[in-house]
Amino acid sequence: MIIIERPITELKFVSDISIAFEVNFILEFTQVGSKFEFEELLFSSSFVKDYDSVSENHPLDWASEFDMSNWGLIFAEDEGKKIGSALIAYNTNGVNMLDGSKELAVLWDLRVSPEYRGQGVGKSLFDIAKHWARNHHCNELKIETQNNNVGAVKFYLKQGAELRFVKANAYQDFPDEDMLLFYITL
């Protein structure tokens, strides 16, 4: 496996890597002081969540919505096959997640092909994404996920990210999902 930065023009290959996952559990959060604790609850009926199928959330939609000239695109490749990717946003007007800060980067998208999950590909991509952000003079990396993406939550916590914000009913099209914002100091 190799991890390599590619030009943003290769964004079209990101959607070849499935981001879909099965939702079997949902996390319920409780704030205790400045920290959050969570309980894993069995979801009433499991389903497959595929962010690429959500309107205006497909990777090919992003280039028409944002100036991506300051974004980084990293691929994990195995024998020439793209098996994972990370997309990092930085210093881009119109990206509200950046909070108007040039010292903040956002991990916009992280995905690993299902057959390669749990083998260290995501960690390698995450580590390179942090390095990319540091090289662009950022001091924090912000990450958004949802309370039904249990695997992502556990992954980010394992990487040392701190959950700082939980917003219930944050998504108009998905009222049962809570927005989770993680931060990692670089």
Q: How many domains does the chain have?
A: 1
φ and ψ at 81, to 5 degrees? -90, 130
Q: Where are the alpha helices (DSSP H) in the chain?
A: 59-65, 121-135, 150-158
Q: Residue 173 has what pLDDT?
A: 87
Give 178's pLDDT tier (boundaries 50, 70, 90): very high
Q: Residue 33 has what pLDDT?
A: 93
Cβ burial, residue 118 (10 Å; 0-12/13-18/19+): exposed
| Model pLDDT for residues 132-169, shown as the tens digit of each residue | 999 999 999 999 999 999 999 999 999 999 999 999 98
Q: What residues pair up with 41 in beta bridges, in sequence order?
A: 26
In terms of residue numbers, what domain contains 154? 2-185
CATH code at position 79:
3.40.630.30
Token readout for 71 is 């974004």
